[in-house]
Amino acid sequence: MERTLIIIKPDAMHRMLVGRLLTRFEEKGLRFAAMKLQQSPRAQVEKHYAVHKERPFYAALVDFMTSAPVIVAVLEGPGAIGVVRNILGATDGKQAAPGTIRGDYGIDKQYNLVHASDSPETARFEIELFFKPEELVSYQRAPDRWIVSN
Residue 115 among the catalytic residues:
yes
Give the global pTM: 0.93
Helix (H, G, I), strand (E, B) or coil at 118: coil
Q: Domain boundaries in the chain?
A: 2-140
pLDDT in tens, 47-67: 999 999 999 999 999 999 999
- Give the tens place of pLDDT for each residue, 16-49: 999 999 999 999 999 999 999 999 999 999 999 9
Provide the sign of the torsion angle of the four alpha carbons 67, 7, 27, 83, taken in this order: positive
CATH 2.40.50.140: does it fit domain 2-140? no
Residue 138 has pLDDT above 80, yes or no: yes
pLDDT exceeds cutoff 90 at 130: yes
Q: Considering 14, 48, 52, 115, which one is annotated as catalytic?
A: 115
Please give the Cα distance from 109 to 76 (Å, whole number).
26
Kindly report, residue by residue over 84-113, the tens digit of the pLDDT. Answer: 999 999 999 999 999 999 999 998 888 999
